[in-house]
Structure 1
Amino acid sequence: MDVFIIGITGRIGRLLAGKLRDRGDTVSGLVRRSRDEADFAASGIRTSLGDVSVMTPQELATAAEGADVIVYTAGSNGGARHVTEAIDRDGVAKAAEAAHLAGVRRFTLVSVFPEAWRERDLPEDEEYYFAAKKEAEVSLTHSDLDWLILRPSLLTDEPGTGRIAIGPAELHEQISRHDVATALTLILHEPRISRQILELNEGGSPIETAVARCIRSPARRTKSGGSEP
């Protein structure tokens, strides 16, 4: 599989790229600094130099040309509003348009839990960040792409446990970035997990088992010509 990652220099993006490469996939991505190009090239990963916040959809499409799936893991983490808009909201819409232009049907977005940090009194700019993330999700789900949205809970840099909980609604606790990258690698290799919003948290099920439960069986045709689950 050929995977193009927007956000490949981030912690989840780097972990995902390594896991996909080790699996034998072709991995490429977008970087903003030439030194990152050299680092990834040494690992056998091709990159294009560019900034999603200022690139046009056509420029992004050119970078992603030939990919089977675009994965968007970039995020501003709730900084200044103009950065949040450019990365977390408009960047996703721009990348989705680029997918159309490049003929890439599959698009996976790493987003956030809607209730993340609800127990805190957040600054207005961080509240705006969550609103921008939701706008990006809505825009993507209204597209005709083969989309998938993954919402991890609070991210940590702890070693992965290899056990998760994943589904349409999960508790918001915490999860290792390593386990997120492992789960995402398996999801990308399972095309039957499609057009779903999945929440991801630490849990008690082995990652392969948990991800397999997200597979949707094709609808069966009925005698009347309709379909049933």
Structure 2
Amino acid sequence: MRIVIAGGHGKIALRLERLLAARGDAPVALIRDPAQADDVRAAGAEPVVIDLEKATVTELSEKVMDADAVVFAAGAGPGSGAERKWTVDRDGAVLLADAASLAGTRRYVLVSAIGVDDGPAPGSDPVWAAYVQAKKEADDDLRTRGEVLDWTILRPGRLTDEPGTGLVRLGPSVPKDEVTRDDVAAVIAALLAEPASSRSAGRVLDLVGGETPIAEAVEGALS
């Protein structure tokens, strides 16, 4: 499968690209900085340079054309201000959905965050509040697109860089906890292995570390 990954140089994206390449898929990494191309190639992906904060839907749809699936794993990242939470975490996700629809690519996996439906807690830091609200609005937008996209929203808990365990807890609602980026990438890969109009379409799934092997956890969450 040809799988286009927005945020292709991010920590989750690079892990996902390695997994997809290893199993014979063709990952395509959308990156903003040409200097990231070598890292992406080393992960087994094809680098494509495009800035989601500046691209038009037509320009992005050209990059998505002929893809079997798209993944939004981009984010403004730590140290960015509130404004970029809106332009990347929300607007970038919406732009990718528009581009996928225009290109006729139905399968869309959005990496969100656990608990965003609750909104930011009163008195939250303004940048954190913007992040939570931006993620929520991106999720809300995608949930309106069931007629044109086979979407899945994956909501990991607090991310860590510890080695993956291959053991998770996955479902429509699970208690907040942490999860490794390795395991998030492995769950995305498992979800993408489902057929395009799969049981995972139209699902919102929370993900944290747990005690269930990933393949079993995915099967259980989709049954």
Q: Do both share a fold (TM > 0.5)? A: yes
1:61 is aligned to 61
What's the offset of the Cα at 1:48? 1.1
Q: C-alpha offsets along residues 128-150 of structure 1, whole Å, 9 cap, x if unaligned? A: 11011101100000013110000
**8 Å CA contact retained: 1:77, 1:129:** no
What's the offset of the Cα at 1:183? 1.1
Aligned-pair Cα RMSD in Å: 1.9
| Shift in CA distance, 137/117, structure 1 to aligned 2, threshold 3 Å | closer
Alignment of 1:200-219 (within 5 A): 200-216=207-223
Gaps of 5+ in 2: none
| Shift in CA distance, 120/40, structure 1 to aligned 2, threshold 3 Å | same
**8 Å CA contact retained: 2:119, 2:133:** no
Quick one: which of 148, 170, 174 aligns to 1:166?
170
1:95 is aligned to 96
1:84 is aligned to 85
Q: Which has the larger radius of gyration?
A: 1
Task: Name which of structure 1's ranges 206-215 and 147-156 shifts more when overlaid on structure 2.
Answer: 206-215
Secondary structure of the structure 2 residue equivalent to 1:35 = helix
Letter aligned with residue 180 of structure 1? V
Secondary structure of the structure 2 residue equivalent to 1:181 = helix
**8 Å CA contact retained: 1:114, 1:134:** no
Alignment of 1:97-176 (within 5 A): 97-114=98-115, 122-143=124-145, 144=147, 145-176=149-180
Q: Separation in 2 of the partners of 1:119 and 1:140?
A: 23
What's the offset of the Cα at 1:100? 1.0
1:32 is aligned to 32
Deviating 4+ runs (over 6 angstroms): 116-120
2:23 is aligned to 23
- % same residue: 36
Q: Separation in 2 of the partners of 1:124 and 1:34?
A: 31
Letter aligned with residue 74 of structure 1? A
What's the offset of the Cα at 1:120? 9.8
Q: C-alpha offsets along residues 135-172 of structure 1, whole Å, 9 cap, x if unaligned? A: 11000000131100000001000011111100000111
Secondary structure of the structure 1 residue equivalent to 2:187 = helix
Matched, 1:194 2:201: yes
Q: Separation in 2 of the partners of 1:134 and 1:43?
A: 30
What's the offset of the Cα at 1:201? 0.7
Number of equivalent positions: 216
Gaps of 5+ in 1: 217-229
| Shift in CA distance, 66/177, structure 1 to aligned 2, threshold 3 Å | same
Letter aligned with residue 72 of structure 2? Y
Letter aligned with residue 153 of structure 1? G
Q: Separation in 1 of the partners of 2:188 and 2:205?
A: 11
Q: Separation in 2 of the partners of 1:18 and 1:41?
A: 10
2:5 is aligned to 5
Task: Name which of structure 1's ranges 78-87 and 114-123 shifts more when overlaid on structure 2.
Answer: 114-123
